[in-house]
């Protein structure tokens, strides 16, 4: 099966599966809603708080925008991919695929790449048009590329530790905790803050804060890419083990 045909077929099938599932549709539209809330509501909300209670929200813009657009947005897309993987194991789709020309490596590669590319493009569009901070194109692409890796990371974590849709709901809380790490880290001074770097989502958020505050952010991208490469490799190994064990 040619790659383009495979991607086209899988893409149409995924669109159908997401379109008929209210939970998955919600996971698609929630980050879109949050983007518009930031783009058109953050400045008015800041002005209202300043006038009403004298609280200045401006110093927290960077951490809030990074958390929602760079961390949470790919998390939701990763969850969609992870839930689809769980359902495909439940209905024996992964088992059936083992006797088809489509290898499991190609299949998980598609799932990871699709979630990552959608997240990458979404971060570029959302962060590049946030209406509050200017970011250079090269910095935007680099941050979006690192942030986009959170989608396959979240998808494979989802699949690794949940065996059915019921357990998947429990994983929502666990993943939300992992992805809250950058938000907590922002309130911790360096060098202690770097301890949070053990969690992959931290580095893209750190780069985004730095850029929005006028720095370069390049230094924080390198450890982020290295950490994601190592963690994603281990998660792919876990995917293979779990997928093949389900075939027994």
The pLDDT tens digits for 168-190 are 777 777 778 888 889 999 999 88
Q: Tell me the pLDDT of the chain averaged across its residues.
A: 84
**Could you count the other beta carbons within 10 Å of the beta carbon of residue 175?**
23
Does the pTM of the predicted model rise above 0.85? yes
pLDDT bracket for residue 247 (50, 70, 90) = very low
For the record, the structure tokens of 135 come out as: 């970011």
Q: What pLDDT does residue 170 have?
A: 76
CA neighbor of 97 nearest in space, from 87, 109, 88 = 88
Taking the mean position of all CA atoms in its chain, how far away is CA 128?
17
Question: By mean pLDDT, which of 46-55, 82-91, 143-152 is the weakest?
Answer: 82-91
For the cut 70, the answer to whether the pLDDT of residue 31 exceeds it is: yes
Identify the pLDDT of residue 102.
64
pLDDT on residue 25: 77
Q: Is 199 left (phi over 0), alpha (psi -120 to 50) or beta?
A: beta
Which pLDDT band holds residue 132 (cuts at 50, 70, 90)?
A: confident
Say yes or no to pLDDT of 246 above 60.
no
pLDDT for 99: 63
Average pLDDT score over residue span 213-224? 90
């Amino acid at each position: 099966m040619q790659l383009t045909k495979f991607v086209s077929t899988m893409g149409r099938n995924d669109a159908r599966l997401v379109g008929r599932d209210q939970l998955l549709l919600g996971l698609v539209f929630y980050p879109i809603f949050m983007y518009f809330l930031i783009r058109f509501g953050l400045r008015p909300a800041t002005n209202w708080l300043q006038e009403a209670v004298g609280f200045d929200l401006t110093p927290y813009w960077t951490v809030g925008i990074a958390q929602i657009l760079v961390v949470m947005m790919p998390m939701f897309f990763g969850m969609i991919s992870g839930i689809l993987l769980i359902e495909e194991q439940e209905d024996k789709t992964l088992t059936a695929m083992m006797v088809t020309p489509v290898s499991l490596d190609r299949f998980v590669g598609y799932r990871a790449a699709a979630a990552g590319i959608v997240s990458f493009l979404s971060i570029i569009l959302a962060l590049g048009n946030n209406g509050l901070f200017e970011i250079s194109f090269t910095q935007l692409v680099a941050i979006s590329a690192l942030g986009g890796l959170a989608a396959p990371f979240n998808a494979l974590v989802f699949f690794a530790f949940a065996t059915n849709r019921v357990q998947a709901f429990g994983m929502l809380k666990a993943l939300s905790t992992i992805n809250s790490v950058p938000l907590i880290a922002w309130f911790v001074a360096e060098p202690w803050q770097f301890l949070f770097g053990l969690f992959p989502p931290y580095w893209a958020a750190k780069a985004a804060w730095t850029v929005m505050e006028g720095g370069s952010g390049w230094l924080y991208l390198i450890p982020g890419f290295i950490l994601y490469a190592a963690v994603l490799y281990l998660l792919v190994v876990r995917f293979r083990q779990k997928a093949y064990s389900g075939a027994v």
